[in-house]
Amino acid sequence: MPLKMRLQPKFPHYTTRGFEDIGVLSSGLMTVPLRVTNGAESETAALVAGIAGFTMGETDAKGKKLTRPWVQANHAWAMMLEPDSVLRSGVVEWEAKARSGG
């Protein structure tokens, strides 16, 4: 069954001068089920991806004031497993090792 997406972006504060309140924009994250296996066990995880937010600025990289503001999308993704997932054990071990510096 193909995945169907229905997007209805709303930008109620857009004017001819630009966005009056960028905070009203939605994040644009999508979630889909993802079947994950380690060869012996398998379960369904959630894959979340999309635009998680926006960064705005009025200066360039050197701090010079620009004539127009800029907007940059912040993209993100994550695979989410249940807290008691048997597939998390390797991740938990890796995380503990990374934190200890080993």
Domain residue spans of the chain: 25-100
Distant-in-sequence, close-in-space partners of 77: CB < 8 Å, separation ≥ 6: 47, 48, 49, 50
Spatial distance between the Cα atoms of 27 and 11, rounded to a whole number of angstroms? 12
| Residue indicated by tokens 């991806």 | 49
pLDDT tens-digit profile of 21-75?
A: 555 555 578 889 989 888 888 899 999 999 888 888 899 889 999 888 888 888 9
Q: What is the pTM of this model?
A: 0.54
